[in-house]
Amino acid sequence: MPDGVRCMVMRGGTSKGAYFVADELPDDPDERDLLLAAVMGSPDPRQIDGIGGAHPLTSKVAVVSPSSVADVDVDYLFLQVGVDDGSVSDQQNCGNLLAGVGQFAVERRLIAASGDRAQVRIRMVNSDSVATATFPLEADRPAYDGDTAISGVPGTAAEVRLDFEDTAGSTCGALLPSGAVADVIDGVEATCIDNGMPTVVLRAADLGIAGDEAPAALEADQQLTERLEAVRLQAGELMNLGDVSSATVPKMSLVSDPRAGGSICTRTFIPHRCHDAIGVLGAVSVATALRLPGGVGSELLRFGADPEVVQIEHPTGTFAARVELAESPAGPVVGRSGIVRTARKLFDGLVFPKSPAIPSSGSPGGSA
């Protein structure tokens, strides 16, 4: 595409990604995915010839379009672009990029907005579930400046409230896809849960670690990463996901006693890199698992003033996730889940992806 492709780069929560209008990308999914991998500069561990940031959290794409579903404003398809292998996966949601979808829709005039606040109902195509994003406006345009701080992002920005509907079982078919609150997988007790993100919750102590180690140290622990992958592969079958050897789900979240005044301490693998924070829907799923009677790690949970809010400690701060639970004859039922994020427009213009038909040239080295 010698004339480039219209693209907006936004920070959503603790992630960063490229946002596109669906009609401005190829209709064919394979062609679209090749284009997006080239946009990011994959496959290449540095993504030096694209706009990716050489990390899964900065190699993300949001594809947005007007929705044909009643009572929904826009559709949002999330695509995770592999850094090293150039894969493009739609097997999961991303609640962080979701925090910028409503603003992007207003910026691109996909929807009209007026007044001092917008409420945008968004269908998350990956799971066919709905979230409502609420954010401030100035002169009928998104306002990005504000005084809300979230861990993992320097400074402050405008608050974006995300309220989720019908996320339980959205990928795996049930909140507890194995049918049990706790399973023993490869000799380790685990809770397999899907409240918007397929997640396996384990006690850090059961894997021989404290649970507050630095992400780099955990990634370098080959015995730990191999054990986690063995559990993850078996959990994938239990969670109706099939063979997950090349999939980005389920995520693996290790829990331990809180250290910084929160409700629980976490370290999350996504699935092979240790997250510098924790994903939005991953946090919602972990909070749900811990609030279930008998959930693995629930005995470690320390409640604050509001028992429906779980303050999740992660490597760069704390994430608050609200989960409303009710009992039914069939088991626990999730009501509303809600979180607060921020988002910011970083760049708007044209991106010029390298044609995949053109072979790379030059030496493998580089300069700073």
Instruction: Please classify residue 147 by burial: count the beta carbons closer than 10 Å to its beta carbon, then call 0-12 exposed, 13-18 middle and 19+ buried.
Output: exposed
User: How far is residue 276's CA from residue 260's CA, in Å, rounded to a whole number?
Assistant: 16
Reply yes or no: is the peptide bond before residue 177 cis, omega within 30 of 0: no
Residues 64 and 212 in one domain: no
Residue 7 pLDDT grade (very low, low, confident, very high; cuts 50, 70, 90): very high
> How far is CA 106 from its chain centroid?
22
The mean per-residue pLDDT over the stretch 20-27 comes to 98
The identity of residue 139, as a single letter, is A
* Average pLDDT, integer, range 49-57: 96
Q: Does the pLDDT at position 231 exceed 90?
A: yes
pTM (2 d.p.):
0.79
Residues 252 and 283 grouped into a single domain: yes
Backbone CA torsion sign across 278, 62, 346, 43: positive
Decide if 15 is inside a domain: yes
Same domain, 195 and 145: no
Do residues 189 and 263 both lie within one domain? yes
On whether residue 367 sits in a domain, the answer given is no
Distance between CA atoms of 343 and 249, rounded to whole angstroms? 25
Count of domains in the chain? 2
Are 45 and 129 part of one and the same domain? yes
Residues 15 and 154 in one domain: yes
Verify that 10 and 157 share a domain, yes or no. Answer: yes
Confidence of residue 356 (pLDDT cuts 50, 70, 90): low
Same domain, 221 and 93: no
Instruction: State which H helix or E strand residue 18 sits in.
Output: strand 15-21
Predicted confidence (pLDDT) per residue in 138-172, tens digit: 999 999 999 999 998 999 999 999 999 888 998 99
Residue in this structure with the two tokens 């090749």, named with its chain if needed: 34
Task: Give the model confidence (pLDDT) of 93-124 as tens digits.
Answer: 999 999 999 999 999 999 999 999 999 999 99
Average pLDDT, the chain: 93
Q: Which domain does 235 fall in, by range?
A: 183-328
Q: Is the pLDDT of residue 330 over 90?
A: no
Asked if residue 137 belongs to a domain, the reply is yes
SS3 for 34?
helix
* 257 occurs within a structural domain: yes
Of 156, 148, 146, 151, which is closest to residue 280 (Cα–Cα)?
151
Residues 100 and 189 in one domain: no
273 or 361: which carries more pLDDT confidence? Answer: 273
CA-to-CA dists, residue 251 to 74, 281, 283, angstroms: 27, 11, 11
Could you tell me if 136 and 198 lie in one domain? no
Q: Once rounded to an integer, what is the mean pLDDT over residues 312-323?
A: 94
* Pick from 16-20, 40-44, 127-131, 310-314: least confident: 127-131
268-290 per-position pLDDT tens digit: 999 999 999 999 999 999 999 99
Tell me what pLDDT residue 304 has.
86
Q: Is the pLDDT of residue 368 over 50?
A: no
Return the residue matching tokens 């209008």: 21
pLDDT tens per residue, range 195-223: 999 999 999 999 999 999 999 999 999 99
In a domain, 280, yes or no: yes
- Cβ pair 242, 198 in contact under 8 A: no
Res. 367: pLDDT tops 60: no
Per-residue pLDDT, 331: 76
Residue 109: C-alpha distances to residues 70, 100, 356 (Å): 19, 14, 31
Does residue 298 fall inside a structural domain? yes
Residue 165 CA to residue 341 CA, distance in Å, equals 17
CATH number of 296's domain? 3.10.310.10
In a domain, residue 336? The reply is: no
Do the domain assignments include residue 363?
no
CA-based nearest residue to 201, from 285, 307, 318, 263? 285
Torsion angle, alpha carbons of 305, 307, 313, 314, to 10 = -150
> For the residues of 66-93, what is the DSSP string, one character each?
E--STT--EEEEEEEEPTTT--EE-SS-
The residue whose two tokens read 């009209």 is 112
Task: Answer yes or no: is pLDDT of 350 > 80.
Answer: yes
Please tell me whether residues 63 and 91 are part of one structural domain.
yes
User: Is residue 47 located within the same domain as residue 79?
Assistant: yes
